[in-house]
Structure formats: C-alpha cells, structure tokens
Amino acid sequence: MNKSKVGLLYILPWLIGFVFLTAYPFLNALVTSFTDYNLIGSAHFVGIDNYISLFTKKDFIKTINNTFVYTLMTVPLQLAFSLIVAFILNFELKGIRFYRTAYYIPSILGGNVAVAVLWRFMFQQNGVVNFILGRFGIAPIGWFSRPAGAMTIIILLKIWQFGSSMLIFLAALKNVPKELYEAADVDGAKKFRQFFTITIPLITPTIFFNLVMQLNNAFQEFNGPYLVTGNGPLNATYMTSMFIYDNAFKYYRMGYASAASWVLFSIIVVITLVLFYTQDKWVFYSDEG
C-alpha cells in the first residue's frame, strides 16, 4: 500500500471540516478586516485603515502589553505548578483519588458564579488576603483598584485553575514505564533527582504540548478578567481578546475587531513557530531514531 495516501485518508475528517468549519469563516474574517463592516448595512473596503488605526490607538497597544505581561507571568508558573502537583499526585498514597479530584475541581468550576464571588471576597479590602498580610504587618491593599493588584488577581486565578494541564501531565507520567524507576529505586532525596533525570526527559512531548496550549490560552485569555476584574483600573486587565469582543459586539465594529484578531493571531503564530523550531533542542520523541 502506498503510505502517502493512507496518511491523507486518516486526516481526511479534519480536512473536510477544515474547509467549511474553519477556512471559510477565517477567510471571511480576513476579508472583513479590510472593511468597515458594522453588522448593519453594507461593508466598504477601507484597505489597511483598520490595521493602521489599531497601531495608532493607545487602547489596543495597552491590551497587547497587558496580554504579554499576563502570558509571561502565568505560563511558566502554571506549567511548573501543574507539573509538580501532578508528580506528587502520581504517588500511590491512601485516598489519593480524593486529592486528585480536589485539585482538579477549580478547573471543573471554570466560570461558575462561585468563582467570581469568592475571588472578590478574598481580595477585597477586608478580605482574607489582606487579613493574612495584616498578620505580617502589611497594611491592607486595594487589590482591585490598583493596576498591579488587579493584574495579580487574575494571574493567581489562572494559576489556581491548573487542573487541565495537571491532568495531562498525570496521564503522561502514567505512560512512563515503571521499570525505569524500579531499576533505580531508592529513598527520598533520590526520588527527586529521578524526577529530573528520568521523568522530565520522557515527558518532554507533553511539556511541549502544555506549553503551546497554555501560551495560546494565555494570549486569548478572556474569562478570568471578564469574571473578576473587568477592564481593571486604568485598563490594567484589559486583554486583547476583550478588546476584540468589545469591538465586535459592544461597539459593532466588526472590521476593526477582525483586524485586531489577525494581529493577535500573527503574534501567536510567530511565537508558536519559534517554539516548534526549538523542539529539536529539548523535546525527545520516541518515534525518532
């Protein structure tokens, strides 16, 4: 059998769907980005005006800035955190299933109203966080009304909801053959070293996956700020995806929103491409010789 044809056959479902579920609306959005389409009336071609005005507007630049800060803060922290927790929850302890469930619950909650309300309670002026800080002699902080405070809140929220990447790491850790550990099974301290010498290299494809996904999620973050801080004081937590949403459905500037989407898209694509090129250096695939 000709191998090349078989591969295409397997990806055929995606290819068909791609054409009408993705390519068509994408091209539509690309065309729209060069028009002044506002949902009502007809669209006029405006060339690259939308793109020019994006880069001359403080608002948009600010959201790009915020998005970068947010991404740089959340991705490494969440990645490290979820990997460590997955490593711990991978031990065979009594009642571990309960703990594995508990640590995943924040991710099941997603945008539940409880999350929005409780995060407000925690960080408000007389909230839990200020109370604990007070114990260390730190005066109460207006978390929501200070730009850096609001950003901190949504960063912590993101890290708290680390369950999905933890789950993926857990599945990956289970794929690491036990024999490798048994060969070097020793007490306490060495377990930690094994983690770096045996575990990490074997799960680099999963680390890579989580890295790409988290970058993408962080760049397109919407829910966290939408739920808890909104635009934030002085637009401190105004993310590019919120800017796009507002322009599309609040101000009805679809052309503008589409242009902003393509700018965000290009940024993520470039960063992901760079990541894909670095793979050779640190990701070890077992299917390569």
Partner 1 sequence: MNTNNSAYEMRVDSMSTDNKRTMSRELRRQRSEEISKAIRYIILTVGAFIMIYPILWLIGGTFKDNSEIFTSISFIPSHIDFKAYADGWHTRTQYNFGKYYLNTFMYVIPKIFFTVASSTLVAYGFARFEFPFKKILFALFMSTLFLPQVVIRIPLYLMWKKFGLLDTYIPLIATSVFANEPFFVFMIIQFLRSTPTYLDEAATLDGCNSFQRLIFIILPVLKPTIVSCLIFQFIWSFNDFLGPLIYITSLAKYPVSLALKMSVDTSSGVVAWNQILAMSFIALLPAIILYFVAQKYFTEGIAASGVKG
Partner 2 sequence: MKRQLAGILAAAMAASLMAGCSTTNEVPEASTGAGNAQQASAGDGKGVQLRFSWWGNDDRHQATQQAIENFNNSNGAGITVTGEPSGFDNLQETFATRYVGGTNAEVMTLNYDWLATFGSKGDGFLDLNTVKDTFDFTQYDENFLKTGMMNGVQEAIPYGQNTLGFYLNKSAFERYGITELPKTFEDYEKDAAIVTEKDPDNYLVVSPTIRFAATYYLQQKTGKAEFNDDYSMNWTAEDYQDAVEWYKDMADKHVFCSREDYVENVGNDPVSVAQNEKFLNAGYLGVMEWTGGVASNEATLKEKGDTLVIADLPTIDDAKFKGTMAKPSLLLAIDKNCKNPTEAAQFLQYILNDPEGVKIMGTKRGMVASKAAQKTLEEDGQITGIVKEAYDFTDKADVINEVAFFEAADFNNAYQQNYEQFEYGQISAEDCGKAIYEANASALEALKAQNQ
Residue 188 sits at the vertex; the CA angle it makes with 75 and 160, to the nearest 5 degrees, is: 25
CA distances (Å), origin 238, targets 46, 69, 225: 27, 11, 8
Q: Which is nearer to partner 2, 249 or 285 (CB)?
A: 249
Q: Does 163 bind partner 2 (CB under 8 A)?
A: no
**What CA–CA distance (Å, rounded) separates 99 from 174?**
17
Token output for 44: 């006029």
CB 125 within 8 A of CB 140: yes
Smallest separation (angstroms) from partner 1 to the CB of 228: 13
Q: Does 268 bind partner 1 (CB under 8 A)?
A: yes
Interface segment toward partner 2; rule CB under 8 A; list 98-106, 117-125, 179-187, 261-269: 117-125
Q: Which is nearer to partner 1, 234 or 270 (CB)?
A: 270
Q: Which of 248, 75, 223 has the alpha carbon at shortest distance from 154?
A: 223
> What residues from 71 to 130 belong to the interface with partner 1 (CB under 8 A)?
85, 88, 93, 97-115, 117-118, 121-122, 127-128
Site map (CB under 8 A) of partner 2, residues 204-243, x = contact: -------------------------xxxxxxx--------
Out of partner 2, partner 1, none, which partner does residue 251 contact, by CB within 5 to 8 A per kind?
partner 2
Tally of helices (H runs) and strands (E runs) in the chain? 16, 0
Residue 97 neighbours by CB under 8 Å, 6+ apart: none
Q: Does 51 bind partner 1 (CB under 8 A)?
A: no
Smallest separation (angstroms) from partner 2 to the CB of 218: 20
